[in-house]
């Protein structure tokens, strides 16, 4: 049986990583085969690209970011996503094309249409069954990132950047299909309950 592809998107500090781990455990307890992965960094080449992209020592043009992410995505789609889905796994992925649309298309000013053209080959090969877009107000997000000691190149951007990212995810969650937006200012368990309902609706 063909698997499912569920992508978690959202602004940094929204709790994606925490929710993915809880969902992975939840689905495995229900008897599903589950693979958890991320972009960038879901392959060996992707891991190296991730380190370069997030290194605060480097300043980088938005198009350079988009092209590096596309290279990561090519390796990821070919070597992780397609094989797992074809083997019947539920794939939980931390970020996919919507992140490129928001961060590079909207925030970096490359343009949504340009990012979609660049990434069209990947969505032709593997299209998410569901995008769960987790968002939290920028001031809350920044506080969470500071408390967690996050220091990568995107985490330490200013409040204007984080506000644009937040608004971008709000915009794309309304514009694109198969997107469900969940605000994450409640407790972890309250958010998890909402996430599980969306996933159960898909799988049932």
Judge whether 94 is annotated as a binding position.
no
Give 103's DSSP letter: I
Q: Give the range of the structural domain holding residue 167, as residue numbers without chain letter.
A: 4-203
pLDDT digits (tens, 9 = 90+) for 148-170: 877 777 777 888 999 999 999 99
Judge whether 41 is annotated as a binding position.
no
Judge whether 114 is annotated as a binding position.
no
Q: What is the Cα Rg of the chain in Å?
A: 16
Q: Please spell the DSSP secondary structure of 130-199, one letter per residue.
A: EEEEEE--HHHHHHHHHHTT--STTTTS-HHHHHHHHHHHHHHHHHSTTEEEEE--S-HHHHHHHHHHHH
Judge whether 16 is annotated as a binding position.
yes
Q: Rounded to an integer, what distance in angstroms lies between the CA atom of residue 27 and that of residue 12?
A: 24
pLDDT digits (tens, 9 = 90+) for 37-54: 999 999 999 999 999 998
Strand order in the sheet with 34-38: 34-38, 90-94, 4-10, 130-135, 179-183
pLDDT digits (tens, 9 = 90+) for 99-118: 999 999 999 999 999 999 99
Judge whether 15 is annotated as a binding position.
yes
* Cα angle for residues 125, 75, 117 (degrees, 5° grid): 50
pLDDT digits (tens, 9 = 90+) for 168-203: 999 999 999 999 999 999 999 999 999 999 999 999
Judge whether 109 is annotated as a binding position.
no
In the chain, % of residues over pLDDT 90? 86
Q: Rounded to an integer, what distance in angstroms lies between the CA atom of residue 111 and that of residue 129?
A: 24
pLDDT above 70: residue 65: yes
Judge whether 11 is annotated as a binding position.
yes
Per-residue confidence (pLDDT) for residue 1, from 0 to 100: 60
Per-residue confidence (pLDDT) for residue 146, from 0 to 100: 85
For position 128, which CATH number holds?
A: 3.40.50.300
Mean pLDDT of the chain: 95
Number of domains the chain contains:
1
Judge whether 99 is annotated as a binding position.
no
């Amino acid at each position: 049986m063909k698997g499912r592809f569920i992508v978690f998107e959202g602004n940094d500090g929204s709790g994606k990583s925490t929710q993915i781990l809880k969902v992975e455990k939840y689905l495995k307890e229900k008897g599903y085969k589950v693979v958890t992965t991320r972009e960038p960094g879901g392959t060996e080449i992707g891991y190296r690209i991730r380190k370069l992209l997030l290194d605060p020592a480097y300043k980088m043009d938005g198009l350079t970011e988009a092209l590096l992410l596309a290279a990561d995505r090519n390796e990821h789609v070919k070597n992780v996503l397609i094989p797992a889905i074809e083997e019947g796994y539920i794939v939980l992925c931390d970020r996919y094309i919507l992140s490129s649309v928001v961060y590079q298309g909207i925030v970096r000013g490359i343009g949504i249409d340009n990012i979609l053209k660049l990434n069209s080959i990947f969505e032709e090969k593997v299209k998410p069954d569901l995008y769960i877009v987790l968002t939290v107000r920028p001031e809350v997000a920044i506080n969470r990132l500071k408390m967690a000691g996050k220091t990568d190149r995107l985490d330490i951007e200013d409040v204007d950047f984080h506000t644009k990212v937040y608004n971008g995810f709000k915009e794309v969650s309304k514009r694109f299909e198969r997107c469900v937006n969940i605000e994450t200012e409640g407790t972890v368990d309250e958010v998890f309950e909402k996430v599980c309902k969306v996933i159960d609706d898909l799988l049932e």
